[in-house]
Structure 1
Amino acid sequence: MGGIYTPAASFPPSRFGEIVNEAPSRPLWRASILLSLTLAFVSWQSARASLAVLVGEPFGSFGTMMPLGHTAIYLNHVCADGPLKVRLCRPDEPQGVVLARYHAIGQYDWLATPIMDFLYATHDPAEVLAFATPQKVWAMRERYRERFLREVVPDGKQGTMNGDGSAKHAHDLDEWWETAGMAYQRRLWAYEVSTTPEQDATLVAVMNDQANRHRYHLSGANCADFAAELLNLYYPGAVRHADRIADYGLMTPKHVVRSLTGYAEKHPELDMHVWEIAQIPGSLRRSKTVWGGVESALKTKRYLFTLLVIQPEVPLVLEALYLRHGRWKLGQGAQPMPPLMQTGPEETVAATPTALEPAGSE
């Protein structure tokens, strides 16, 4: 994934101008760089069959209360056949699909979303927001719903816009908006490994043959459990059972990629790469660090202060458990990107994880 150079000239001039404008401000330049990186990521992956575990950072009030993040699976040679079925991609379909389990999408367990829609709520790079505001993000998600998701979220059932561009009052469909425009709301990490056409064909058969009925449960059937199941379908034993000590027995996003990393170290033929997809600039709050179970209790101030007052010995136990079982750096080894664009003869805008955000979080 690293070592990819995507010059501005590779974009059609008319479209590139729509994204960054003729005299872009720093946020616009930064957004265009992030988009270029993502397009380079998608284009690079299309050359070979691969699977990537996407770990999205937590955000909003729920992310503060439970900073475990969200997990999804990106398959570059499998495509969405609507939101409820998948199929093998045709040669002229380079994007691929994101599969994820959600808590509140009506009667369904999982949804399939094209990768560009999942990240930016559009399939057209010219429409990607350079600066995200709640109103603009909501409008893009509404257009995406009307174009792609209407059979799951009919008109009148989508709810209304929340203050952060999410949906409210959608009742049992409250999470439909999380299928689109996630790069406006959070930073994501992609842990990518090679696959084969035969493995992809097996995945398609399994997903289409099994009943897609609501299964979500925090313990045993959450989004990380879903990702672990798909990973183990491709590579049996890649994800071990949930960590009973570091994560209280819950499957967490951090545990999934930690297990996959360990498995890939023993199987170098998987050719693992780690990629950072940074959050688009905007007025939306920045996402937070992904933590594990014990780590959340130890590093979330509201939990830690309460424990210090009520049972001061508990934080000491949590610290020992974290140091022994839960300490692992998410994003470690993410490959830096080379410079993509130049603003003048003396200034180069570089898009590397260290230039955008700290490369990795512990």
Structure 2
Amino acid sequence: MAGRRARAQEARRQQARKRIIGAVIALVILGGLVAVGVWGVSKLSERFAGPEDYPGPGTGEAIIQVQSGENGYDVAATLLEEDVIASTEAFTDILVDDPSIQLHPGAYRVQQQMSAQGALDAILDPANKVELRVTVPEGYTLPQVFERLERDLGIPQEEFLQLAGNFTQFDLPEDAISLEGWLFPATYTFDDGITAEGVLETMIARQHEALEQYGVADADAQRVLTFASVVQREARFAEDFGKVARVFQNRLDINMPLQSDATVAYGTGNLHVVTTTAEERADASNPYNTYQVPGLPVGPIGAPGDQAIQAVLEPTEGPWLYFVTVNPETGETIFSETYDEHQQAVAQFQQFLRDNPGWGG
């Protein structure tokens, strides 16, 4: 009797264990199904949610350079590298949807972690384009030009000097002896990131444009710029440019030395004076000494502008062979036909120097 009860109890215990094991297995299977379901939903969600994108509007600041010839994928890669956008797809998808969008070369100010649409809007907004502006005045010599370019563009003068040492790499005529005179004086706007070579190429191209505008043949370009550079340094007021050009042209026509102190000073490297010494004017080794060397100097002595170029091509009609600025402070200049008249004007200038000792030194 006792044995039967024991066997029955053991059977019930085994059945209970089977039920518990079955329940555990069922729970495990159910848990697995739930996990697989969640994973599948997650994958489907990722598939249809679109590419990763920042919510925007962004923080901080970044400068993005869009290079000439780059396409939307190139720009997207740059934006991703600078952490402006979260994925390239978010940006390029917008461009694919609207083929009319045009991306222009330049540097643009944007923010990091922007939405793709926000980044695109920033690049398309002209107000975000980063530009550098520099003004090169007429008459500036190469050292002065390079100093101004460094100041306003942040490009070291050494880079310009190195390029100037190999000036034949640029679009210049065969008789050019340097970059002097070929960097057109004007106001320029450059994209951030412009190179020294790019700056010089732009300025030289602008000089070619000016010469072409006045109908100057390539074979005459160096001579015209040399002549115009002397006029640029010697004339002060608009009404005097044509007269100064006429004086020098009249002298050239009769093989009379130009006798320009500006050319002598350029040859000595002392560019901040208005007078020269008798010793400097007697130095025939100075190729810019137009007291000793006949005709025009060996090359330009600065950067001539439109007014000087036009004056050389269309000088004012007149018989003058001499001129002198009798009052450097006001710029008053007297033009004379005869040497005696000129000497009277020179006496006025010398009186000014006596009244203003040390002026112009």
TM-score, normalised on structure 1?
0.21
Largest Rg, 1 or 2: 2
User: Quick check: which one's helix share is greater?
Assistant: 2
TM-score, normalised on structure 2?
0.21
